[in-house]
Amino acid sequence: MADVLTFTDRGIYCPAGDFYIDPWRPVPRALITHAHSDHARWGMDSYLSTPGTAAVMRHRLGDIAVETIAYGAQQQIGDAVVSFHPAGHVPGSAQIRIAVKGQVWVVSGDYKTVDDGLSEPFDPVPCHAFISECTFGLPIFNWTPQDILRDQINRWWADCATSGKTAILGAYALGKAQRLLRLVDPAIGPILTHGAVENTNEVLRAQGIALPATIRVDATVTGKTHPGALVLATPSALGTTWAKRFGPSSTAFASGWMALRGVRRRRAADRGFIVSDHADWAGLNAAIKATGAEKIFVTHGYTSAFQRWLADQGYDAHVVSTDYQGEDFDSSEDAA
């Protein structure tokens, strides 16, 4: 029997439906799991995604031909039937299910299994073959439970506020930043946002996602005008002249990589919060088990170790090389 999906130098391809999933080179038809830039690239003739992903893609990629599909709705493309299912990664993110002649394959995109209170929660999809990311596919990655995380961040912010410091938190602009916004306690002080974060906030608010009130940082906003503030910024903005306007400050990063002491120390922030929109070790293993799939393809992350682990567990496991970065170690230096 022919494979439902093949792996090409343009991306994951479905011969039965003649479409690509998250391709990294221009193709006629692209199905997009989510709007992060390593998955949703510019230059496709047509796009198919969830409405949430489409809204952010339009904001990021401009005038593109995008068709939307609701979670769970089935659409016939050629000889394939496709449907999108929540991946729990960021708002609008999806796993894509492809059925061809009774064979069901699922592409996970990026996902996490815990409910972050913002994204549509991950929904396991039974399948014969599962293509899974494994950004954090080693047993050293075990995320802090969300309620403990909330206490850690709020306590840090409150301590900063009482000691006259601005709390500057670096987090990825789509997903992570809004997740954190819903976690923090607005009673502690004003919440200021970097332009890149606020732009995404606007797109998400327009879709009806409730976020606490935020103030966009412009030339008039400083540490003096908004004492006791929390600043949500992209990681690359920390330590720049932009950040100097806030005066005495404490800096923190929010990333899965903060689980590693070496990375925390190298980033030279005052605090590191362990929070990721990718599945941790337990999450990856649970998600894979829940699919009931026998054949597993692993992409981006600790692929060779994770593949060997899965093979040890009795799966027919393979490594697929892709251009996705996930929450990559190198890019963790910029965009964790």
Partner 1 sequence: MKAFAALFAQLDESTKTSVKVAAMADYFRNAPDQDKLWTAALFTGRRPKRVITASKLRLWAAEVAGLPDWLFEESYSIVGDLAETIALVLPAPGQISDESLTYWIMRLRELGLQDEAARKAGIIAAWDSLPHAERFLFTKLLTGGFRIGISAKLMTRALALATGQPEPELTHKLMGNWTPDSVTWHSLIQAEDPTADQSRPYPFYLAYGLEGLDSLGPPADWSAERKWDGIRGQFILRGGSHYLWSRGEDLMTDRFPELAQLCDALPDGTVIDGEVLAFADEAPLPFAALQKRIGRKTVPRKLLAEAPVILMAYDLLEQDGHDIRSLPFAERRGRLADIVARVSTRAPLRLSPQVTFTTWAELAAERAKSRDLGAEGLMLKRHDSPYLAGRKKGDWWKWKVDPLTIDAVMIYAQAGSGRRANLFTDYTFAVRDGDALVPFTKAYSGLTDAEFRQITAWVRKNTLQKFGPVRQVPPLHVFEIAFEGINESPRHKSGVALRFPRMLRWRQDKPVAEANTLADLQEMLRLYG
Considering beta carbons, is residue 73 or 268 the nearer one to partner 1? 268
Q: For the CB of residue 240, give the shortest distance to partner 1 in the complex, in Å.
A: 15
Q: Please, are residues 183 and 190 in contact by the beta-carbon 8 Å criterion?
A: no
The burial of 111, by beta-carbon neighbours within 10 Å (0-12 exposed, 13-18 middle, 19 or more buried), is given as buried
The helix (run of H) or strand (run of E) holding residue 307 is helix 303-312
Q: Which is nearer to partner 1, 176 or 264 (CB)?
A: 264
Minimal distance, residue 42 CB to partner 1, in Å: 24
- Taking the least distance from each CB to partner 1, the nearer of 242 and 329 is 329
Q: What are the backbone angles phi and psi of residue 171, rounded to the nearest 5°? A: -155, 155
- Least gap, CB of 38 to partner 1 (angstroms): 16
Minimum CB separation of residue 10 from partner 1 in Å reads 21
At its nearest, how many Å lie between partner 1 and the CB of residue 142? 7
Q: 285-291: long-range contacts (C-beta < 8 A, 24 or more apart)?
A: 286/113, 287/108, 287/111, 287/113, 287/122, 287/124, 287/132, 288/130, 288/132, 288/315, 290/124, 291/106, 291/124, 291/125, 291/126, 291/127, 291/130
* CB 43, CB 29: distance < 8 Å: no
Closer to partner 1 by Cβ: residue 323 or 333: 333
Residue count of the chain? 336
Residues that bind partner 1 (CB under 8 A): 138-142, 259-266, 268-272, 302, 305, 308-309, 312, 329-330, 333
Complex with partner 1: residue 21 or 335, whichever CB lies closer:
335
Choice between 220 and 240, CB closer to partner 1:
240
Locate 215 and state its tokens: 């103030």
Question: What are the residues facing 192 on neighbouring strands?
Answer: 215, 231
Backbone φ and ψ of 331, nearest 5°:
-75, -15
**Beta-strand pair 46-49/66-68:** parallel
Please say whether the beta carbons of 101 and 72 come within 8 A: no
For the bound state, the minimum distance from the C-beta of residue 236 to partner 1, rounded and expressed in Å, comes to 14
Nearest approach, Cβ of 270 to partner 1 (angstroms)?
A: 5
Of the pair 209, 282, the CB lying nearest partner 1 is at 282
